[in-house]
Amino acid sequence: MSDIDAIRDRYLEQIDAASDGDALEEIRLATLGKKGEISLLLKTLGQMTPEERQEQGPKINGARQAVADALTNRKDAMETAALDAKLATEKLDLTLPAPSAPKGSIHPVSQVMDELAEIFADLGFSVATGPEIEDDWHNFTALNIPDTHPARAMHDTFYFPQTDDIGMPKLLRTHTSPVQIRTMMDVARQTEGAGEPIYIIAPGRTYRSDSDATHTPMFHQVEGLVIDKGIHMGHLKWTLETFLGAYFERDDIELRLRPSYFPFTEPSAEVDLGFSVENGRRIIGGDPHGPNGGWMELLGSGMVHPNVIRNCGLDPDVWQGFAFGCGIDRLAMLKYGMDDLRAFFDGDLRWADHYGFNALDVPTLSGGVGA
């Protein structure tokens, strides 16, 4: 017993005298480590008789527990003393600004989609969506696009080897017009052909085999559709003027409608947006007729062709409407000053930091859709 007590007391004195954590670790290994002195004493219990084990076991275990407790207490005391010293010498200036933390941003395309939804919601439109993998009927045939139309060619449309129920190939939609078709067909089905007014926009991704500074194989498009009674081209022009004025936040927006051809509208019109050049910069609005003014083609539009209305199960003698479509990426480029569409999809964080939007800058008409 005196030997075990002596070993215990010797190590307790060393623990009290330890100056740092490294010294404590050396003592722990020397006593409680795999080859430590007290650990070796514990191993001798197996060689003792039951009577010796009953006598010596509590003594050796008591010494082990005393050393372990002392090590823990001494380590806690050291850590507390180190923290007290740090608190006594270090100061934190709470008036300094907090360090900036990494943060993401809203992509300009997503921001513009939110702006469009806000503007058209104020005009009574709702947002409609549809599948990006389409069939020939919804993407072409229902839109009065003939079988020989160039848009159906492989060089312009991404086709899948799979086919639909009638053997026509599946494809990536080339525009969001199929959303208009699906919406009109849903209304015709729900009203058993009687019909009801439709006011929707259809923003989303579209796909065409094209790639340069202003075209990419995947791009974003928004289309609008109005189906109601007594609708005419005047309603279309007013809607576009109101939309573009709110989007560009200008009161002097001027449009020029040029006759054109689209299979799904009749009459059809290309819509040009007036601009002026001020201090070497092109500005949306101003006087497009002056020496520093001009026109840029922005979107296509027209009155929905009677065949399209009829294909969707509605009566074109009762229901008329207009439709328009524009590239969301192009709208973003014009408003926020980008000149290369390919940068939208490069994933360059420097570009995203420069052109991105704060997640809390939600577009509102009262606060400015470009906030």
CA proximity to 288, closest of 258, 257, 251, 255: 255
- Write out the DSSP string of 197-228: -EEEEEEEEEE-S--BTTB-SEEEEEEEEEEE
Joined tokens for residue 244: 């573009």
Q: What is the model's pLDDT at position 130?
A: 95
| Three-state SS at 20 | coil
Cβ-in-10-Å burial (0-12, 13-18, 19+) of 203 comes to buried
CB atoms within 10 A of CB 91: 7
Asked if 188 and 142 touch (Cβ cutoff 8 Å), the reply is no
Mind listing the pLDDT tens digit of every residue in the chain (371 residues)? 458 888 888 888 888 888 888 888 888 888 888 888 888 888 888 788 888 888 888 888 888 888 889 889 999 999 998 888 888 888 878 888 887 777 788 899 999 999 999 999 999 999 999 999 999 999 999 999 988 877 777 668 888 888 877 778 899 999 999 999 999 999 999 999 999 999 999 999 999 887 666 667 888 999 999 999 999 999 999 999 999 999 999 898 999 999 999 999 999 999 999 999 888 788 888 888 988 889 999 999 999 999 999 999 999 999 999 999 999 999 999 998 888 888 888 888 888 888 888 887 778 776 667 65
Distance of CA 300 to the CA centre of its chain: 28
Q: Which residues pair with 258 in a beta bridge?
A: 270
How far, in Å, CA of 173 to CA of 262, rounded?
17
CB atoms within 10 A of CB 283: 15
Instruction: Write down how long the chain is.
Output: 371
The amino acid occupying position 224 is: G
CB atoms within 10 A of CB 328: 23
∠ CA 206-337-103, rounded to 5°: 80
Asked if 104 and 357 touch (Cβ cutoff 8 Å), the reply is no
Q: What is the model's pLDDT at position 27?
A: 87
Check: pTM over 0.85? Answer yes or no: no
How far, in Å, CA of 146 to CA of 307, rounded?
12
Q: What is the model's pLDDT at position 1?
A: 44
Q: Read off the DSSP letter of residue 90.
A: -
